Amino acid sequence: RESLAEQFAEIGCVPEVPLEDADLAVLITCTVRANAEQKVYGKFRELIPWKRERHGRSIALTGCMAVEHGEALLDRLPELDYVFDVREPDGFLAKLQGLHGAALDGPLALPASDRLSAFVPVMGGCNEMCTYCIVPFVRGRELSRPMPDVVAHVARLVEHGVRDVTLLGQNVNSYRDPSGGGRLPELLHAVDAVPGLWRLRFLTSHPRNAVPELFTAMRELPTVCEQLHLPVQAGHDALLRRMRRLYTVDEYREKIRDAVETVQPRLALSTDIIVGFCGESESEFAATEALMREVRFDTVHLAAYSVRPGTAAARRADDVPLSEKKRRLNHLLALQRQVAAERNGAYVGSEIEILVEGTAEDGRPYGRTRENKVAWLPAATASPGTLARARVLSATAWQLHAEPLAAA
């Protein structure tokens, strides 16, 4: 999103204005799950009255759906005006210049932003070919951005007020600088050196590529946060084989153990888990539950399996009934709520650092810790855009409540 905003500004368009003032609405889409597409169609329908309200307004669509469906979307959605590949937007931008050139004042400098956090894509595509996943088919093979480009992108964001940056890739651990060959640990070192950056994170990691050098960089670099997202997807080897994840449960356990031992004992762990995948037996599901109880993740992104046409898994029988998928999903959601409350409860009495992001209507500042936990402070004790040291007084499954520490 940030990169596209910069490109709009380069041709004289003002990005991210209130919708009522805009002439163009751009839908940036995802197709990883079927319900993501349905949300896009729902948002598109919401935009139709906005478009009809004023002559000259238009709607564009980009992202994964643009790659997967292409210009067929223009036939399917008559009110849609443009479809373009976000990786190659030059043709679309040139079309905008041709249509609105007289009204465009040339390159614009983006103003300082009140956003403190931003996502920076460092690579696209995926080479893993997990059987349930559509990403390799719509985003293609892995292609990494040159390291100097990533560093420059982060530096520009910091100049505009961003302090917390997350490096993004479908399998960010397999990043390789196309010019120098540097991997993710080297990229973290390079971005860590950007003046004014306070916090650095990365998503999403594949367990196969989570190497010891990565964990060492997490421990040594001051901006890299104590948070690791390492999707396991399932807790039984047979399920992992059907998913083509190419690691075993024991190998995953070893990665988690190495990360915690290398980085710090309080490393915040998050993961993705799919329930109800093709042929998932009760014993296989029980193994996934057992792994969740064993590892005790801070956060688990749970989803019931849905068939994505064109994937290898689509050729298998989707044989776990929807009612059973929902039962298993709700069971693990309840388990994770309990585990998260216990994990957060362990913070009570300890010191945390909060990047204050805003102030609620009741005057209480809120923000996130280095471990990416939501934290609240008493009213009028901190200002947005500052770092606050605090001691945790209480905790729930989803947030911490803290009091500020007196300045040293």
The per-residue pLDDT for range 187-240, each reduced to its tens digit, is 999 999 999 999 999 998 999 999 999 999 999 999 999 999 999 999 999 999
Q: What average pLDDT does the segment 50-64 reach?
A: 90
pLDDT tens figures, 288-328: 999 999 999 999 999 999 998 899 999 999 999 999 999 99
User: What stretches of 157-212 adopt beta strand conformation (E)?
Assistant: 164-168, 199-203
For residue 210, tell me if it sits in a domain: yes
Phi and psi torsions of 369, nearest 5°: -85, 175
Which residues span the domain enclosing 85? 2-103
Q: Count Cβ atoms within 10 A of the Cβ of residue 253 and give its class: 0-12 exposed, 13-18 middle, 19 or more buried.
A: middle
Specify whether 183 is located in the same domain as 197. Answer: yes
* The pLDDT of residue 11: 66
**Is residue 109 pLDDT above 70, yes or no?**
no
Binning pLDDT at 50, 70 and 90, where does residue 104 land? Answer: low
pLDDT in tens, 264-283: 999 999 999 999 999 999 99
Q: Which CATH number is 370's domain given?
A: 2.40.50.140
Higher pLDDT, 287 or 140: 287
Q: Are residues 271 and 242 in the same domain?
A: yes
For residue 292, being part of any structural domain is answered with yes
Query: Domain total for the chain?
Result: 3
Task: Give the model's pLDDT for residue 106.
Answer: 54
pLDDT band (50, 70, 90) for residue 69: confident
Confidence band, pLDDT 50/70/90 cuts, at residue 115 = confident
Q: Does 284 have pLDDT greater than 80?
A: yes
**Residue 334 predicted with pLDDT over 60:** yes
CATH label of the domain that carries residue 263: 3.80.30.20
- Check whether residue 232 and residue 305 sit in a common domain: yes
Break the chain down into helix, strand, coil percent, rounded to 5.
Answer: 40, 20, 40
Query: Is 159 found in the same domain as 77?
Result: no
Q: How confident is the model at residue 107 (pLDDT cuts 50, 70, 90)?
A: low
Contacts of 385 (CB under 8 A, 6+ apart): 114, 116, 161, 163, 356
CB-based contacts of 141-149 (< 8 A; 24+ apart in sequence) = 142/169, 142/170, 142/171, 142/174, 143/178, 144/169, 144/175, 144/176, 144/177, 144/178, 145/121, 145/178, 146/177, 146/178, 146/179, 147/177, 147/179, 147/180, 147/182, 147/186, 147/187, 147/190, 148/179
Q: Is 108 contained in some domain?
A: no
Residue pair 275/305 in contact (Cβ under 8 Å)? The answer is yes
Q: How many CB atoms lie within 10 A of CB 322?
A: 11
Overall average pLDDT of the 38-64 stretch: 91
Extended beta strands in 212-309, E state: 227-229, 268-275, 299-304
164 three-class SS = strand
Q: Categorize the per-residue pLDDT at 181 as very low, low, confident or very high, splitting at 50, 70 and 90.
A: confident
Residue 173 has pLDDT above 70, yes or no: yes
The whole-number pLDDT of residue 21 equals 86
Name residue 120's beta-bridge partners: 167
> Mean of the per-residue pLDDT values for the chain?
91
